[in-house]
Structure 1
Amino acid sequence: METLPTVLDIEASGFGRGSYPIEIGLARADGSCCAFLIQPLDEWTHWDPKAELLHGISRERLFQEGYPVRQVARWLNDELAGLGKAYSDSWGYDNTWLSLLFHHAGMLPRFRLEALRILLTEPQQALWSQTKEAIIGDQPIQRHRAGDDARLLQLTYQHTRCAAEQGT
């Protein structure tokens, strides 16, 4: 059986200056996935109601159910240090939010985040959007939640790879 890339996805309070991570999800190489909500720090005040409409996570829920920043950073290091890397489809945003998380946790990441696209062949890239939409229609995936989005990316990678190898 092929090894799938470990995919990390982050939901955030919004985009741009002042935004911060609110949920981090992982899809592991074995296809299992998990996600953690993050308690906002006192200085993390940016909140975009449009972002909340997408991910459906309220700021109040983060305070009630979220985990402390340091605990999430420690968990990520425990999960990913052995692998050394994880992949993201929105590297620019996700890497910024990941850096912010680790900075405020007072820790260094023991892994690298890389762009998922570096793993894709040209045939995979050509099939990506259509394949992703087909999976969304076919699977019980809750969009804009970090764990499900990470798994969606991983499934899209797997399906495009199989299709590209078969020349379809």
Structure 2
Amino acid sequence: MRRHHEEGVHPVSLPVLLDIEASGFGRGSYPIEVGLARADGTRCAFLIQPADTWTHWDAKAELLHGISRARLIREGYPAVEVARWLNDELAEIGVAYSDSWGYDNTWLALLFDQAGMLPRFRLEALRRLLSEAQMMLWRETKEQVVHDYDIRRHRAGDDARLLQLTYSETLRLAAE
């Protein structure tokens, strides 16, 4: 795969991608890290301190993302600060995209509810942006991007950037 652009430098604006890592899946799970890949290709992420009522913990999820509950308590930011940051980042753009909309939207709602705030943006499913040709290229291209860019999986900022790079590359390949 050819790299057409240096990391963070793109001639066209890319969609903003959002990814959330969580304490597990299903009932009782909650967001532990939120990450963004911005339109200019830069990325950022914040760990989230668990609220007192957020007690669910899945050891299998911890094996994937490598973030311990103790680390969240020690290094995470309160939900209100993370929600405020997301609104500051995304209010003007108005939309971010996720490849796991069902889960991420639920965890985002939980975060904003805990913060006592409303999001000033909406979260949309990434597949709404993809052409049929991009969808057909997605899996193989994503694996190649992980390899080419040496991306660490299951961390919110890196996963958001992976999705954004995969989107960009499938767009390029579909146009060829």
Sort the TM-score into its range (normalised by shorter chain): over 0.9
1:47 to 50, 54, 57: 57
Query: Which of 148, 152, 155 does residue 162 from structure 2 map onto?
Result: 152
* Percent identity between the two aligned chains: 73
Distance in 1 (alpha carbons) for counterparts of 2:147 and 2:40: 23
CA distance in 2, matches of 1:74, 1:49: 29
TM-aligned CA deviation for residue 21 of structure 1: 0.1
Superposed displacement of residue 3, structure 1: 1.4
Is residue 113 of structure 1 aligned with residue 151 of structure 2?
A: no
Distance 1:108 1:125 in 2: 32
Partner of 1:91: 101
Residue number among 16, 19, 22 corresponding to 1:9 in the alignment? 19
Q: Take 1:31 and 1:3, find their aligned partners in 2: how far apart are those partners? A: 8
1:15 counterpart SS class: coil
Q: Which runs of 5+ in 1 are unaligned?
A: none
TM-score by length of 2: 0.94
**TM superposition outliers: structure 1 runs of 4+ over 4 Å:** none
Q: Tell me which of 86, 96, 99 is aligned to 1:76.
A: 86
Task: Give the AA of the match of 2:30.
Answer: Y
2-structure distance, mates of 1:134, 1:158: 13
Q: CA separation in 1, counterparts of 2:141 and 2:150? A: 15
Distance in 2, matches of 1:100 and 1:26, equals: 18
Matching residue's letter, 1:98:
L
Shift of 1:44: 0.3
Deviations 1:135-162 (CA, angstroms, capped at 9, x unpaired): 1111121100000000000000000000
1:6-55 deviation digits (Å, cap 9, x = unpaired): 00000000000000000000000000000000000111000000000000
CA distance in 1 between counterparts of 2:152 and 2:33 reads 14
**Inter-partner Cα distance in structure 2 for 1:140 and 1:80:** 27
> TM-score, normalized by length of structure 1?
0.98
**RMSD of equivalent CA atoms:** 0.4
Q: Which whole-Å deviations, capped at 9, do the CAs of 1:100-150 have from their partners, x for residues lacking one?
A: 000010000000000000000000000000000011111121100000000
For residue 28 of structure 2, what is the aligned residue in structure 1? Answer: 18
**What code does the residue aligned with 1:37 have?**
L
Among 43, 52, 69, which residue is 1:33 paired with? 43
